[in-house]
Structure 1
């Protein structure tokens, strides 16, 4: 076990500033050398990221995007993993000026779900076709404290419907103690997510004015405590729009490098939320450092090349058009049919209870059909978590390209299951075409696995994976 990390000593703003300054003006030769390096799928260092983040020339941007698409396809194929957030509460003890959930916001209808209501939410999500959820909420627990979260996880796993169940729960929770993280690991979670929001200490202090979240280091060292507790799949992220996105990207790289140095493996996922309007927050509607659509696409592409084997997550903050555009740039996971207010699936409520305004209001069936019509494979697979392919074991398979031998067939079988049990007629037709095309493109050995597994699903077997 590694020593307990209590201060984010790995964060070096001066080094970031120097790296950005050194990147200088556009140098086509240098940029193309970095893109050639990125195409080898070995990742990029901070200097490489700084150089690519400053690309402006349209031809070079096109080359950046093309390289990111090739990298994403090489590692993940055409799969897009789907999940849904399940908000247990919008009650929070923190005072974060950009968030609708902040303690002083009187414009928000407050609610914390009972375990019975959580079960109803899980049932509603299962009936949509979801197999994977992200448990999330305001940074406050009811009178039972942290035990409430453990009971909520047990409750969700315990919901069984005629056509399925939730097979994996990921969580996005306030920083915990190491002992609490051990309990979370024992509850059977998949990935633990925590976003620093901004790595700029001065800015962090200005936007997190009260509550436990105001402690920058308690939050920045939470992933260390989680990994010390045995949680080897962790997710990072920043809230793009708070600080300068170039600084945030390099700070994120420092965080990842720290995890790799200490634990031998970095983050399993990176989320790329961009600030969206939120009830009762002027800042949310007018971000301090707004990120344009063009720069946002660049963020996705550069991250894909910098940490090629890391999953990139796009939420429903973004529009359907933006989400669709980023599939080719590196995004590998998205939420579908999401609600960001507690109780929003079983008993839809007013958006005044939501954390932020959604950009994509489509239901899951429409999202799945759109992905399939674009020639990609919506995946509901949870096999890696249940087979123990996490942390080092996942990376040992991912880096030589072996993970595709599992993920390709598993994605197809889970998609076939969704189509048969939940898909509309139009979505089934689009999905069957996408499955047939994907199988036809596979090399013979993986094609045989895929054909066999999809045939089992179509014959009535469920939860087919390898």
Structure 2
């Protein structure tokens, strides 16, 4: 593996500028906060100075305005859809020594395991049989998980057919690649490629990544630039909250977004914002150096929603049921469900999966339980993959997203995928809840031609057809 050595060359993360903006924006005036929120509600991305103002809001009245603005914006752009996926951990071998991660090479208590292609098939079959259509494959950073191996596992996942189901979108969370290796992975039809910077603060980054390829801040920071050059125009970024000051990390995420827009004319497809969770034999995970409490976490999600109106926000099952339910109101557009992060645990019901896991999950409900709770609360669970498969990605996605066309397409597609779940996999109680929401969503569609076309698709699904989308 070749990677850039760190040096003093300036990056697009301007630490001095970030710190100055945060300092200057202290004690913001009500009128300025309202002006910034209104800019966001007009579906415009915020700049760094504007985010700094929102980050410095401490008065209850101003924070309430942020929450209300985020809730309004989410409904305006995304409606009540929540996209569902599941993580599939392929292997936990790792040559890095990240202090916060259970996979780190120095952790001798974790059980190491890598799936064979046959095991990948078994895991995928279990996920398909529970109703999943979208996966993210997760890999440790190790020479055996090279681009060819990643490509082979993706092809294996896509090859699985079980009953009336299959996986329609495979996203990737794996080590940074060279441009040529990114091309290999793109060629097998992946969706989004995620690389999280973990912390954008260079001194902290160096401290918590003492050895391994991941110790190179620059190699990781510019990894998704290489993905863009390879033709992958759906990328996901993220920061691990708890390693450094949360306000700085928020400014880092927005700086990364602006960098993509300026260089590639499109921002990240998704942003993730996990908090450090306890991991086996990992002391820093028990006492994070910059703990983010629940109130602050809620605030940062709302500010992210306002800052990047068209970017998907992912909240994982690291968080508790209560936190997940609350944050879906303020901007989250994707969650995982029915998750198991033990390597090989979906098909084996491994009771000691935690010994193979990167961290401990907070929400361990089944997919059926999650869908029933969502529909009971009038959310529209979605397994939609239409935009990706019709080429509405990257810059082309923005052409559809900005005028609001995605909401027009995605709601009908979400209804179709939910109908598939209701017919093929749902418990009787969940099916009844799904059908109620489906009826309500169809009734609310104002475009009569679209409504008629969707009704026709629903009838086709009832008679056995699958994978119908606009």
Superposition TM-score, scaled by structure 1 size:
0.97
Q: Could you tell me how far apart the structure 1 residues matched to 2:10 and 2:328 are?
A: 33
Structure 2 unaligned segments of length 5 or more: list them: none
Assess if the C-alpha contact under 8 Å between 1:409 and 1:449 holds in 2. no
Summarize deviations over 1:123-168 as a string: whole Å, max 9, x none.
Answer: 00000100010010211143x7432111111111111111211111
Does residue 75 (structure 1) correspond to residue 77 (structure 2)? The answer is yes
Q: Could you tell me how far apart the structure 2 residues matched to 1:61 and 1:457 are?
A: 45
Q: Could you tell me how far apart the structure 2 residues matched to 1:60 and 1:226 are?
A: 39
1:394 corresponds in structure 2 to 397
Does residue 418 (structure 1) correspond to residue 417 (structure 2)? The answer is no
Displacement, 1:5? 13
Q: Could you tell me how far apart the structure 2 residues matched to 1:453 and 1:141 are?
A: 46
Displacement, 1:57? 2.0
1:131 corresponds in structure 2 to 133
2:452 corresponds in structure 1 to 448
Assess if the C-alpha contact under 8 Å between 1:89 and 1:111 holds in 2. yes
Q: Could you tell me how far apart the structure 2 residues matched to 1:441 and 1:238 are?
A: 37
1:200 corresponds in structure 2 to 201
| Cα RMSD (Å) | 1.5
1:457 corresponds in structure 2 to 461
Match for 1:11 among 10, 13, 16? 13
Q: Could you tell me how far apart the structure 2 residues matched to 1:81 and 1:454 are?
A: 19
Task: Please list, as runs of the form range in 1=range in 2, the aligned pairs for 1:135-284 lying within 5 A after superposition.
Answer: 135-142=137-144, 145-284=146-285
C-alpha spacing 1:5/1:443, structure 2 compared with 1 (3 Å)? farther
SS in 2 for 1:243: coil
Summarize deviations over 1:363-388 as a string: whole Å, max 9, x none.
Answer: 11001111111101000111111111
1:116 corresponds in structure 2 to 118
Q: Could you tell me how far apart the structure 2 residues matched to 1:115 and 1:343 are?
A: 11
Assess if the C-alpha contact under 8 Å between 2:197 and 2:239 holds in 1. yes
Q: Could you tell me how far apart the structure 2 residues matched to 1:5 and 1:386 are?
A: 37
Q: Could you tell me how far apart the structure 1 residues matched to 2:280 and 2:395 are?
A: 41
SS in 1 for 2:348: coil
SS in 2 for 1:279: coil
Assess if the C-alpha contact under 8 Å between 2:386 and 2:413 holds in 1. yes
SS in 2 for 1:88: strand
C-alpha spacing 1:417/1:8, structure 2 compared with 1 (3 Å)? farther
1:90 corresponds in structure 2 to 92
Assess if the C-alpha contact under 8 Å between 1:313 and 1:333 holds in 2. yes
Q: Could you tell me how far apart the structure 1 residues matched to 2:172 and 2:117 are?
A: 16
Assess if the C-alpha contact under 8 Å between 1:365 and 1:423 holds in 2. yes
Assess if the C-alpha contact under 8 Å between 1:90 and 1:341 holds in 2. no
Q: Could you tell me how far apart the structure 2 residues matched to 1:444 and 1:253 are?
A: 36
1:289 corresponds in structure 2 to 290
The worse-fitting range, judged by mean Cα deviation, of 144-153 and 37-46 is 144-153
Does residue 381 (structure 1) correspond to residue 380 (structure 2)? The answer is no
Structure 1 unaligned segments of length 5 or more: list them: none
Assess if the C-alpha contact under 8 Å between 2:130 and 2:367 holds in 1. yes
Assess if the C-alpha contact under 8 Å between 2:5 and 2:219 holds in 1. no
Count of matched residue positions in the alignment of Structure 1 and Structure 2: 462
Q: Could you tell me how far apart the structure 1 residues matched to 2:236 and 2:422 are?
A: 29
Displacement, 1:253? 1.1
1:29 corresponds in structure 2 to 31
SS in 1 for 2:118: helix
Match for 2:371 among 365, 368, 373? 368
Assess if the C-alpha contact under 8 Å between 1:237 and 1:272 holds in 2. yes
Summarize deviations over 1:208-240 as a string: whole Å, max 9, x none.
Answer: 011000000000010100000000000000001
Does residue 57 (structure 1) correspond to residue 59 (structure 2)? The answer is yes
Q: Could you tell me how far apart the structure 1 residues matched to 2:311 and 2:410 are?
A: 14
Superposition TM-score, scaled by structure 2 size:
0.96
